[in-house]
Structure 1
Amino acid sequence: MLHNASTLRDSNSGPAVRERVLRLFEVVHLRRRAHITMRDLRSALSWFLLRDHGCADVKGLLAQLDQLGPERLVALYYTEAFADQEFALPISASGPDRAVDRLVRQLRETDVGRVNHPVLDRQLDYDVDSAVPWMTFDGRSKVAAAQLRRYAAGVPRPSDSIALDVVAEARRNLTAVLRRWAFYERRDNSWRDMLPYTSVGLLESVISAKTPEERATTRTTLRDRVVEAVSVAEGVRNPLLRQNYLALRVSRVAQAAIRSYRLFPKDDFVIEVSVPAYGDFLEFAPMQSNWFRYGDPHDCESHSTY
């Protein structure tokens, strides 16, 4: 627990780690699955730091570390707090699991350990120390790094004596653990690419642009992505066609020899974000008012919104 607190309050690297924690909360906020209260935030941050363990719990765990293995200790470090239960290391705790905590449950849905990064995964598996540029924490104990490497060294590799499915599951769990450590403690800005939602930055730019020029650019970018995505989903593979038109299939005949499409020029579509009248007086997030509009809004025959 001291390791978690020392990480966040470190004068040099602590602000960077806190920024990444904040980013995960922002992703949950942008998903708009629930209204998050201060009570939810306090509960999630308490779980993030303490994992419902006290000093006596940690003392007992350290006394049984040789029997239980280092993974029980690694599971209590802050990097594992919001790990998806399917890919998380086991912890021993009394009382109900925090899956019942709605904010923790949503944060687990943003688990960076589930996002595959083939190049990074190979580097982490080959040599953890040189895989990414790591932060330094002057006032933090080295015990956590030692336990992590002890856990990694104990994960089996392919051999004739261990079933392949057992090895694959163990290596997959190890890779997820290392990804989470890399997300929080890598020194470069590539941590942003490790989020499970790669378009979250574009979404933020669309709904909270600071200038008219930025607003127009980001909405055009989003419109182009939406148009191309719909066309690809309809089965259009020609790049020039799908990048310039929104294509909708006319018929849904299975295994048709010829497909017919209706083509709508992408320039006829507009992304709109409506701003309420009280926008100048109250803080708000215009997430519920995004429109994908086609045609002239004053022409009832050609105007449609989604």
Structure 2
Amino acid sequence: MQRLEFLFLLSHLRRQRHTTMRDLRSAIAYIITGNKSCEQIHKAHYDTDVGASQVQFAYWQSAFAPAEKSDELLIDLLPLDPGRFPHPHLDRFLHFHQSLGDTTLRSSLFIDGVDLPPHSFSTESEWLAALKRRLYFESNKPASIATNGTGLPKVKWLNLLPYQYARDFVDLLDDQFDVEAVESIREQLALGILRSDGIIEDVPENKLSVKISASEEQQLVVLKQLPLDDFVLHIEQPSHTTMVEQLPEFIVLRHRQSGRQLEITLDLFELLMRMANGLRPDAPEFKPLLEDLRLFKDALLLQDTPDLILIENQHRVHLVTQRDGKIVRTRIK
């Protein structure tokens, strides 16, 4: 139930649609029953290919790949389907361990020790997708898997989802981090904002840097730097609501002096954290999030600061600052 709850929570935090109690009841009912009648269940049980028939009725298939596309909440779960995403270590292992002799090895991936054999599926890709869906719900604890030199991957259910930082985001909303951890995340978000402008050079830390201008002809980039301590990261609690229970949906990075703030949703948080760790902001699907980010950066460019960064030829970095009425340039790299 914890893993199903986490799926519904992510669907809610993606803010594509407001989920009602009726939506939840409908989705859970479909996941349990598959909208199948007793006659259909009995027929599948006594079918000549029992395994293949029953697999299609499995709850983990219904959650991520429902046969009917009429339930709106389950449709919202489709982008989270682990079967849609590559997992190289797991994929490679399964590709080379499809034989009947590998049954015991494969079964150790699951907490109940029951294998999901490939012969129940028409293609390898269908089998891999179904196996990942089941692993999301029923994977064994990594500490319980003995590899013994077999190359058996230790699967973590959270890693099967397309979000790498969803747990951090949820824990932030739940106020689970101490002050130091929040400051570390704030630093990562600031770095992600810098990387969103395509700046890969290292610049002085404890600053939030925003690109002012760039010239390919002169091989020069100019950044404005604001002290990171001037920004506070906090949870935006729902207000003006009559709901019995409420859940925050985003965090806010706010500039103390100007009051300018950036609402960071789950998707924007994921993008910024990934860019801070090397992701390039070039993919077309990032454009809507980067446009929202641009408004915040444009507002910060209006703020006064004594510090500028000049980047020459993508490797020489200079700090330009104002001291005692004088402009001082210092090469820092």
**Short-chain TM bin:** 0.5 to 0.7
2:159 paired residue number: 193
CA distance in 1, matches of 2:51, 2:238: 54
Give matches, 1:101-180, under 5 Å.
101-127=71-97, 129-131=104-106, 133-136=109-112, 145=115, 148-151=117-120, 155=123, 171-180=124-133
Residue pair 2:238, 2:246 contacting (<8 A) in 1 also: no
**Structure 2: segments with no counterpart, 5+ residues:** 98-102, 143-155, 263-333
Residue pair 1:121, 1:179 contacting (<8 A) in 2 also: no
Residue pair 2:3, 2:137 contacting (<8 A) in 1 also: yes
Could you give the per-residue CA deviations for residues 195-230 of structure 1, whole angstroms, max 9, x where no partner exists?
2222222112222215xxx35234323312211111
Change (3 A) 1:63 1:204: closer
1:293 paired residue number: 254
TM-score normalised by length of structure 2: 0.61
Could you give the per-residue CA deviations for residues 143-186 of structure 1, whole angstroms, max 9, x where no partner exists?
xx57x43225x53xxxxxxxxxxxxxxx3332211111222221
CA distance in 1, matches of 2:134, 2:71: 23
Residue pair 2:236, 2:249 contacting (<8 A) in 1 also: no
Change (3 A) 1:218 1:203: farther
RMSD: 3.3
* Counterpart amino acid of residue 224 in structure 2: R
Change (3 A) 1:120 1:28: same
CA drift of 1:255 comes to 7.2
CA distance in 2, matches of 1:244, 1:25: 36
Residue pair 1:70, 1:150 contacting (<8 A) in 2 also: no
User: Which of 240, 247, 251 lines up with 2:213 in the alignment?
Assistant: 251
Give matches, 1:213-252, under 5 Å.
214-238=177-201, 240-241=202-203, 244-251=206-213
**Structure 1: segments with no counterpart, 5+ residues:** 1-17, 86-90, 92-96, 156-170
Residue pair 2:214, 2:222 contacting (<8 A) in 1 also: no
Residue pair 1:206, 1:218 contacting (<8 A) in 2 also: no
Could you give the per-residue CA deviations for residues 84-119 of structure 1, whole angstroms, max 9, x where no partner exists?
57xxxxx5xxxxx3x232111112222122232211
Report % sequence identity: 22
The structure with the greater share of residues assigned to helix is 1
* Counterpart amino acid of residue 120 in structure 2: Y
Residue pair 2:47, 2:53 contacting (<8 A) in 1 also: no
Change (3 A) 1:258 1:277: closer
User: Which of 162, 168, 172 lines up with 1:202 in the alignment?
Assistant: 168
CA drift of 1:274 comes to 4.1
Give matches, 1:265-276, under 5 Å.
265-275=227-237
The structure with the greater share of residues assigned to strand is 2
TM-score normalised by length of structure 1: 0.66
Give the SS at the match of 1:181: helix
More divergent stretch after superposition (257-266 vs 200-209): 257-266
Give the SS at the match of 1:292: strand
CA distance in 1, matches of 2:235, 2:8: 23
